[in-house]
Amino acid sequence: MKPTYVLGIDSSTQSCKALLVDAQSGEVVAEQRSSHLPGTQIDPQHWVTALETATTGLLEQASAVSIAGQQHGMVALDEHGQPVREAMLWNDTSSAQQAKELTEELGGAQACAEKIGSVPVASLTVTKLRWLRDHEPENASRTTQVLLPHDYLTWHLGGRKEAVTDHGDASGTGYYDPAARRFLPDLAADALGHSVQLPRLAQANEQVGRTSTGAVIGAGTGDNMAAALGLDLQPGDVCISIGTSGVASAVVEDSVHDGSGMVTGFVAANGKFLPLACTLNGAPVLDFGARMLGVGKQEFSDLALAAEPGSGGVVLLPYLGGERTPNRPEATGLLQGLRGTTTREQIARAYVEGLLCSMKDAVAALEASTKVATKRILLIGGGAQAEAVRVIAPQIFGVAVDVPRTAEYVALGAARQAAWALGGQEQPPVWDIAESTRYQARPRPEIYAGYAKLRDATEGWN
């Protein structure tokens, strides 16, 4: 019998990845990718071009397709469906002031967490709408519809007919109520200064259209929701994704409303909830460290592994692009503890330890908000390819770390959703994706303690 293939797409910050997957087994049969442009404001047409490049030759073979995308980006469209300006991405911190103002307008941090699941930070779409109103009133007045990156691409794939989104990605806008599972259009209107059309909320297994090649289109979702679906996260599992962002997330039964703002209470792609703590500084911290030392990725990892735990007292605060968790949009990075005897190996290791300690902050916040202890960490994303990250991670987290068999889990989750939409059953198909490599080590709490001391001492610094 001829196999049925589905296509899963991950349109993330740095690139667009497409996986052609056997709908029955979940086996990946082909993979292609295309780079995105750097920057925090991007013409959405570039994503379309990357999508077309990454899916060439694959889309034709697929019976269904779903797109997962970087969360939160504001794609503001005019009455003709044309972007009024470049999309502002999740890691654009221009709207930090608007985040503060909206938090106050909504009655403070805890009131926001109750109403929209999250305390607004610059990443959330709602703050970008308010920024548009304040800084580009002409563009704001021309905006008739606002989409998320994955909505925009799904709309394009379906021939630009009806615009739809899913509950997972919608829950990251800041104008969605995760407990009631509905948009709050008044909040979007208040932010932008006038009412604005929002995409229709589709069900997770809904067929929302057809491609020009006749494939069924699924609703798609946010990249973190898709990763959870691709990994089939179970209670006690924490996914740590080291992509452009650093994300700690878990799938839970009840909605989360964290007034501290460290954890955003999103909705999962399978009808449950996906509380998540996200940093602005993931794998690019390693890229930066390697560049500073003038070495490639492999040598950087080798250098880090050649140094002793604790990096001879060198500590990195990795807030290179400002930070969101903790909320320090104006922060910069900091290397502390340098001596005349400090080695390149110690500096390389300090980058890895600093990145992982910031992820431990995220895991701690997640555990505090869900009251669920972490039983297992699953490490994914580009940064998880580095051996030094894999080896040092259990020293920092204090639990075993599983690195799933190399695959693009966001695109795999999108493929699983596509197969779900194709079959139309109650639950997503069960795929055997359990194979992973376990990394274990003696916990080194003193490394995180040194990091936490520096983090707290620098609160309020820019």
| Residue 154 found at the interface with ligand 5SP (CB under 6 A) | no
297 binds, options ligand ADP, ligand 5SP, none, Cβ within 5 to 8 A by partner type: ligand ADP
- The interface region with ligand ADP, picked from 10-18, 49-57, 183-191, 308-316 by CB under 6 A, is 10-18
Dump the DSSP string for 317-331: E--BTBBTTTTBTT-
Distance CA 207, CA 66 (A): 10
Backbone angles phi, psi at 381, to 5 degrees: 95, 165
- The interface region with ligand ADP, picked from 58-66, 125-133, 226-234, 279-287 by CB under 6 A, is 279-287
Residue keyed to tokens 């699941």? 117
How many other CB atoms are found less than 10 A from the CB of residue 454? 17
Min dist. Cβ of residue 386 to ligand ADP (A): 3
Distance CA 165, CA 150 (A): 8
| Residue 70 found at the interface with ligand 5SP (CB under 6 A) | yes
Q: Among 44, 158, 172, 383, which residue interacts with ligand ADP (rule: CB under 6 A)? A: 383
Q: Among 6, 28, 51, 90, which residue interacts with ligand 5SP (rule: CB under 6 A)? A: 90
| Residue 12 found at the interface with ligand 5SP (CB under 6 A) | yes
72 is in an annotated binding site: yes
Q: Among 174, 243, 312, 322, which residue interacts with ligand ADP (rule: CB under 6 A)? A: 243
336 is in an annotated binding site: no
Distance CA 249, CA 251 (A): 7
| Residue 354 found at the interface with ligand ADP (CB under 6 A) | no
15 binds, options ligand 5SP, ligand ADP, none, Cβ within 5 to 8 A by partner type: ligand ADP
432 is catalytic: no
HEC-encoded secondary structure of 18-33: EEEEECCCCCEEEEEE
The residue from 169, 223, 258, 361 that is catalytic is 223
Tokens of 2: 């001829």
Q: Among 8, 12, 238, 329, which residue interacts with ligand ADP (rule: CB under 6 A)? A: 12
* Upper half-sphere CA count for residue 2 (Cβ side, 13 Å): 4
Q: Residues 121-160: x/- map of binding to ligand ADP (CB under 6 A)?
A: ----------------------------------------
Beta-carbon contacts of residue 228 (< 8 Å; ≥ 6 apart): 239, 249, 251, 268, 269, 270, 274, 413
**Which stretches of 78-148 are assigned E, i.e. beta strand?**
87-88, 145-147
Instruction: Please identify, using beta-carbon distances, which residue of 9 and 283 lies nearer to ligand ADP.
Output: 283
Instruction: Please identify, using beta-carbon distances, which residue of 312 and 329 lies nearer to ligand 5SP.
Output: 329
Number of amino acids touching ligand 5SP (CB under 6 A): 18
Q: What helix, strand, coil percent values describe the chain, rounded to 5?
A: 35, 25, 40
| 306 closest CA partner among 245, 339, 348, 258 | 348
224 binds, options ligand 5SP, ligand ADP, none, Cβ within 5 to 8 A by partner type: ligand 5SP
| 51 closest CA partner among 230, 217, 298 | 217
| Residue 349 found at the interface with ligand 5SP (CB under 6 A) | no
- The interface region with ligand 5SP, picked from 18-26, 53-61, 67-75, 102-110 by CB under 6 A, is 67-75
| 153 closest CA partner among 16, 280, 39, 291 | 16
CA dihedral angle for residue 460, residue 72, residue 14, residue 239, rounded to 10 degrees? 80
Min dist. Cβ of residue 87 to ligand ADP (A): 15
275, containing H or E segment: strand 273-279
Residue keyed to tokens 């079959």? 423
Task: Identify whether the C-beta of residue 168 lies closer than 8 Å to the C-beta of residue 274.
Answer: yes
- The interface region with ligand 5SP, picked from 32-40, 216-224, 288-296, 333-341 by CB under 6 A, is 216-224
Q: Residues 237-276: x/- map of binding to ligand 5SP (CB under 6 A)?
A: ------xxx-x----------------------------x
Beta-carbon contacts of residue 72 (< 8 Å; ≥ 6 apart): 89, 90, 123, 124, 125, 128, 148, 172, 173
| Residue 381 found at the interface with ligand ADP (CB under 6 A) | yes
Task: Identify whether the C-beta of residue 281 lies closer than 8 Å to the C-beta of residue 329.
Answer: no
| Residue 287 found at the interface with ligand ADP (CB under 6 A) | yes
| Residue 286 found at the interface with ligand ADP (CB under 6 A) | yes
> What is the binding site for ligand ADP (CB under 6 A)?
12-15, 243-244, 283-284, 286-287, 297, 381-383, 385-386
Residues involved in catalysis? 223
> What is the binding site for ligand 5SP (CB under 6 A)?
12-13, 70-72, 90, 123, 172, 222-224, 243-245, 247, 276, 278, 282
Residues annotated within a binding site for substrate? 71-72
Residues annotated within a binding site? 71-72
